[in-house]
Amino acid sequence: MGASLPELLRRPAVLWSTLAVALAAAVVTVLLVVPGADDGPADGNGDYLDASLPIDERVEDLLGRMTIEEKVGQMTQVTVGAVEGSPSDVAEYGIGSLLNGGSEALFATAEEWAAMIDGYQAEAMETRLGIPLMYGIDAVHGNTAIPGAVVFPHNIGLGAAHDADLAGRAAEVTAAETRAAGIHWTFAPCVCVARDSRWGRTYESYGEDPGLAIEYAGPVVAGYQGEDLTANTSVLATAKHYVADGGTAYGTSTTEDYQLDQGVTTMSEEELRAIHLAPFQAAVDAGVGSVMASFSSTDLGEGPLKVHADEYLITDVLKGELGFDGIVVSDWQAVDQVSADYAEAVRASINAGIDMVMVPFEYQGFTSTLLSEVASGEVGEDRIDDAVSRILGQKFALGLFEQPYADTAGAAAIGSDEHRDVAREAAAASQTLLRNDGDLLPLTGTENLYVAGSGADSIGRQTGGWTASWQGSLNPPTQGTTILAGIQEAAPNAAVTFSEDASEPLAGADVGIVVVAEDPYAEGVGDAGAGEHDMAVSEDDAAAIHTVCAAVDCVVLVVSGRPIEIEAHLDGVDALVAAWLPGSEGAGVADPLFGATPYDGRLPVSWPRLIADEPLNVGDADYDPLFAYGFGLQAA
């Protein structure tokens, strides 16, 4: 998903808590008086309420009872902030889904989240047919909207670990910590293939090789969705962004100030299928319940076309050839980009095969526009029926007709030691050793250590973007262990001096550890060249490397969502580790540093000497990276 969040989503949490309490109280009243909550819809009991029937029969029965207005309502997804002041609009417009834009951390606990969502669900259950809504969120590396939830390494780190089963276990934990808050749907996994590390979404990719995304898609989808989508540990997964968002050319973005994100992918159809489409086939084969269309455009030789309006790619290829039978959901306000004429944009997107539109604000305008397009015959009712059938099918699969309200029984496990152990294991497995002169690593844990750098004591930097908010923050409301704390925990017998800018005296130090880091960013804003994010070591971190590594044996840990320009700073550096964005468990970074686990990570992307060398991918002519794809030393 993607777009900057409006001010209405940044309101103080106390306002949301007040709303949650009021809405939660409303649930009790609604359950007593609303037909459909327990006793069936107001127009009588239907076969669709019979849980013993196959889902396709239930869908057919319910679809036959729906008006065109009810169908269009089901195709409408609205950000929760847009209905904050008018929750009754959920019922009035028959809204099919709400979402939380940018994973904004609105509440402190799962129970508060569930109370808020249940309040809106109560509104949905007031409708004539009692069709429950789905609530979606960007839980892309943990449910970071809850401050106490576990935050996993971003996908690029999981790709470095080359362990798809471990990634699947991370998805299982994320699903459990998401569904326990009453949230049914995550917009993950991203199965994009990052072919240019200047892209601000590089860390959302498992790597530059489609084989990684293909390998990971199945276990991760299974981790999110589990064996039973009705379980309170399962969420609907979303394979994104369909298709080829990782292959856009630099400078082609349609959004001002972006460079790669939302740009144009120009290649032959054969290349597109081999590199970018294949991971989606793997996700479909794994039973993924939804696919999100990409902001980007593709040019297969006849000029660029927005994916959201590409009937060939969505309907013929995804739904036809690949056999996808779930929901195709649009990205954040992406339909608006199809045409300056909104009616034309809606018409083209729906006819192309978009089933649910992430509006996300002007739902009144969207519903009236789509109804007009149907009335005029520009959008056929069969296309509407196909879209709504897919949406209803996933709602039945999630068990929402039988259990529309949240089951928070799993809330106590959120942030548990058991869950954090998985995140720590994933962080450790992602660590990629790129230099180890003199076998400096692993350290013994008895040295006098001098720790410096902007990433050493910063939860915000080590968790990166899509953590508690869209672009992330240097101070996100996220609990965890910093890398510095992890070092102190792993080496209790070591004397540790910490000086972020290396201004403290180095006298007496045996080994220096400099943790350089990127500041958090996400899509678009993080495109190199789009602003302050330029894949370079900051001046302060560069100075810390120079100061520390000129004085003692030293290790440089690079906390980043992609390779950065490091070659010019390697004089005097004895050991170099790509730590990626390890998440909330900084102790996982320390584990291989001190030999508790081995260094097994391998580069999931080629590491360029200079930013100007991008795009750089294994197999390119004149391939000359600083570190090649798949490189990684072993130690311990």
Active site residues: 331, 523
Per the omega criterion (within 30 degrees of 0), is the bond before 141 cis?
no
Question: Which tokens go with 613?
Answer: 């060398």
Q: Under a CB-based contact definition with an 8 Å cutoff, are residues 604 and 207 in contact?
A: yes
Q: What sign does the CA torsion over 152, 157, 158, 163 have?
A: negative
Q: What angle do CA 552, 554, 556 make, to 5 degrees?
A: 150
Q: Helix count (H) and strand count (E) of the chain? A: 19, 17
Burial of 543 (0-12, 13-18, 19+ CB in 10 A): middle
DSSP 633: B
Q: Under a CB-based contact definition with an 8 Å cutoff, are residues 590 and 607 in contact?
A: no
Does an H or E element contain 373, and which? helix 363-375
Would you report the helix, strand and coil content of the chain in percent, each value rounded to 5? 40, 10, 50
- Which residue(s) pair with 554 in the sheet? 512
Per the omega criterion (within 30 degrees of 0), is the bond before 360 cis?
yes
Question: Which tokens go with 622?
Answer: 């004149």
Largest CA distance in the chain: 82
Closest of 282, 328, 327 to residue 309, by C-alpha:
328
Residue by residue, DSSP assigns 45-79 as --GGG-TTS-HHHHHHHHHHH--HHHHHHHTEEEE
